[in-house]
Chains A and B, each alone.
Chain A
Amino acid sequence: MFFRMIFGTLFRQWKKMLMIAFTIALGSSLATAMLSVMLDVGDKVNQELKTYGANITVVPKENSVVNSLYEVEDGGTAVAFLREDELGKIKTIFWAFNIVDYAPFINTKVNIGGTETDAVGTWFNHHMELPTGEQLDAGVTSMRSWWEVTDGKWLDEQTADNANCAMIGTALAQKLGVKAGDTVHISGSASDADITIAGVFDAGGDEDEKIFMPLDTAQSLGDLDGKIDSIEVSAITTPDNELAVKAAKDPKSLTISQYETWYCTAYASSICYQIQEVITDAVASPVRQVADSEGAILEKTELLMLLITILSLIGAALGICNLVTASVMERSAEIGLMKAIGAQNAAVSGLVLTEIISTAVVGGVVGFFAGWGFAQIIGHTVFGSSIEMRAVVIPLVAVLVLIVTLAGCIPAIRMMLRLSPCEVLHGK
């Protein structure tokens, strides 16, 4: 009988129930969309902030000590080098997944048609097959996204004849009077080469006075085979907290459990530490300008989204609550009649609750998928990638919908239980 009554309500009053289900679906889609976006916004914004370039630099240990001493006298000739064959190891550290991009650099003095200048060897879009099966295109093409190529195009390392190409800064190009497509004769300290200019770029800084070429080319010009000066690493990091600051000073000052927490959290300092572990005689340090600002912006964005999410959750909750209350109150005549023919308070409450909750489950599930769709719309429109669905969203939304629906029923049911059947039926 109980089920027949419930089915009766659900089917005969389907219009009313549909409206409740619809409202609950709206509320739950709102909650799902906002929660998913909020939980993923950190990663997404972090990815966007990568346009600011590297947040970690790696230099040889000896260099970081005596660097300045020789820089002034010799004009930038480093005395210690990192090893090119170790570059791949950066993608094998604990937080390898967080390393989105990196590029090695080697500086050498060259002479182009009588003009002394700095040549930089680097990766442009170096293709790597990682032991994990992952593939990665790393290099300055993505790490110098603010370069404006004013003439020609980005050097494509993956085409066959890359070795004899280079990209040149606007200031240097102007000085030499060259443009994209020209071939220049470059003499380095060890060998000479004829290089074709693939593109001219405007970096808005010192790099405008340099010429950038593939790593091998620069190494052979300066007799620096297998050697690199520095590595710039772009990693997704967690904003620093007290632990990270303490660890950055001296990892040995931590207790074992603190050390584990630190090592297994993607702080800039722990990623630096792990890079130092795999690269021989290297010092990795966070670039404060990028790392600190990233932290601040991430924190603000996440907090902003959290507050907006809370507001919309409250809105969704009250919206559902309201409608449930309104629609239950509306049924006072029906409930009065049931009570008049002898229904117990418990039986009436059970009936109403079951009806509403079964409606809520349907609405909640539909809403969940709709909300997932909304989250994807946001992800694709704003960030051009899909929003990852976190498992934690499902129980959160389920609990929210259930609690809110119940909370909406309670005041209405209490009111109905106080109803005296004859008053209701009399129409007072």
Chain B
Amino acid sequence: MKKRQMYFRMITASLVRRRSRMLVALLSIAIGATILSGLVTIYYDVPRQMGAQFRNYGANMIFTPTEGTFTAEDMEAGRSRIDSGNIVGVTPYRYESVRIHELPVMAAGTDMEQTKSTSPYWSVEGTYPASSGELLLGAGLSEQFRLRVGDEVTVSYTPEFDGRSGEETVLDNTKDFTVTGILETGGPEEDYAYMAMSDLEELTGISGVIDLAELSVSASSDELKAYTEKINAEVPKIGARLVKRVTESETTVLTKLQALVLLVTVIVLALTMICVATTMTAVVTERRKEIGLRKAIGASNGGIIKEFMGEGMLLGAAGGIIGSVLGYIFAQQVSINVFSSSISFMPLIVPVTILVSVAVTGISCLLPIRSATQVDPALVLKGE
């Protein structure tokens, strides 16, 4: 008991009395630990966060009907086969040929709120339609009909437009719309007129029909494949397909980004750890005289190594704890600044950081101490 007390007193006394030097050592360990815990946390969180960014490319899965059309219930059934946490958005589309100023135009009925998640790249001049009777007009159509935001337009639909044309007994269904937004995408969407699903149903008099659904699902390509297989097997009315262009490219780019962060993390960590080790070595080498003195008054090599190692490891543990906290703060700041979302705390990183710090300090102390203890104390004290 006495011996242990003495041991602790010697360790703590040396830490407290040689304050400035120990502070230098502690600081260096803490930096190493901060970089370790910060970068590892970021490395583990990058795929999730970056994956969310890649959802900017829009839908990566589509539901098409296996025959004719499908209904909202079928879409819901398909959607329920995907983990709800992974779903960014599900947008139903129904296409009908309507007429504006007696010219044929493709109209799409959809869920405007959902298009914001499945097609985040849509650039809308004005606002998205929010209530009934509002229209989002593609830029191509806007040019063609000289319609601007705020203009009123009547849309007509002839139920038999595709079939028995020329039959005059059927009256056109018409509905008045206000153009609230002009849609610019640089793609084929610019030639469509988008309206709320309920408006299109009112215009056509047929409801509960969906031609296509776009899904934006945040998952790896293997998971996505598993989802489509499951949906195709379990929901007979829906054919789920992946948008190859988006999924394939996402996998390619995401893999590279992750490899980049991994490699950077490894290089930074290796260099930082060597830096920590050299500093610790410098701090310990300085104390050769002390080691010599202790040996001269009869301390055993083992005892000296134990004492110095105890001191080093205590420093290592303290640095590791400080580093874990700072590293988490750093990772959190990065996540908020870059991805504007908070990072999930990973408890495992704390013990790992502390262990690595202790191991690095331990190893870097051991070498100079051993070389000091192997020398004849008389030579060390003499300063040779």
Contacts and interface: CB of A to CB of B under 8 A. Distances in A.
Given A19-B278, A315-B272, A382-B260, A287 B54 contact: no
Contacts of B337: 303, 307
Given A311-B330, A330-B285, A383-B256, A322 B279 contact: yes
Interface of A is mostly: helix
Interface in B1-27: 20-21, 24-25, 27
Interface string A312-330: 1011101110110111011
B144 A68 contact: yes
A37 interface: yes
Interface in B193-214: none
A30 B268 contact: yes
Interface string B318-335: 000000000000100110
Interface string A47-64: 011011100110000001
B175 interface: no
A314 B32 CA distance: 11
A326 B24 contact: yes
Interface in A340-377: 374, 377
Contact of A326 (B106, B119, B286, B334): B286
A22 B185 contact: no
B346 interface: no
Contacts of A319: 28, 31-32, 272, 275-276, 279
A315 B32 contact: yes
A288 B187 CA distance: 8
A269 to B, nearest CB: 11
A270 interface: no
B191 to A, nearest CB: 4
A296 interface: yes
B252 A286 contact: no
B39 A308 contact: yes
B330 A289 contact: no
A72 B105 CA distance: 8
Contacts, number: 229
Contacts of A382: 256, 259-260, 263
Contact of B185 (A27, A204, A288, A323): A288
A72 B104 contact: yes
Contacts of B164: none
A326 B264 CA distance: 28
A190 B263 CA distance: 58
B348 interface: no
Contacts of A33: 267
Contacts of A327: 282
Interface of B is mostly: helix
Given A27-B275, A72-B104, A288-B184, A52 B249 contact: yes
Interface residues of A, number: 77
Nearest to B283: A326
B299 interface: no
B104 A289 contact: no
A29 B249 CA distance: 33
B230 interface: no
Contacts of B21: 326, 329
A316 B339 CA distance: 26
Contacts of A147: 244
B274 to A, nearest CB: 6
Given A41-B260, A66-B144, A329-B20, A286 B186 contact: yes
A374 B264 CA distance: 9
B338 interface: yes
A65, A68, A330, A378: residue with the most chain B Cβ atoms closer than 10 Å: A68
B248 interface: yes
B53 interface: yes
B282 A308 contact: no
Lowest 5 CB-CB distances: which A-B pairs, in order? A204-B244, A319-B275, A68-B191, A293-B56, A146-B248
Given A289-B187, A308-B334, 17 more contacts: A49-B249, A51-B248, A52-B249, A57-B187, A64-B143, A68-B138, A204-B245, A205-B243, A205-B244, A293-B58, A301-B257, A307-B334, A323-B28, A326-B279, A329-B286, A381-B259, A381-B263
Interface of B: 20-21, 24-25, 27-28, 31-32, 34-35, 38-39, 42, 46, 50, 53-54, 56-58, 97, 103-106, 119-123, 138, 140-141, 143-144, 184-187, 191, 241-246, 248-249, 252-253, 256-257, 259-261, 263-264, 267-268, 271-272, 274-276, 278-279, 281-283, 285-286, 330, 333-334, 337-339
17 contacts: A19-B281, A26-B278, A30-B271, A48-B256, A52-B246, A52-B249, A64-B143, A146-B245, A146-B249, A205-B245, A288-B123, A308-B261, A311-B38, A315-B268, A322-B279, A329-B24, A382-B263
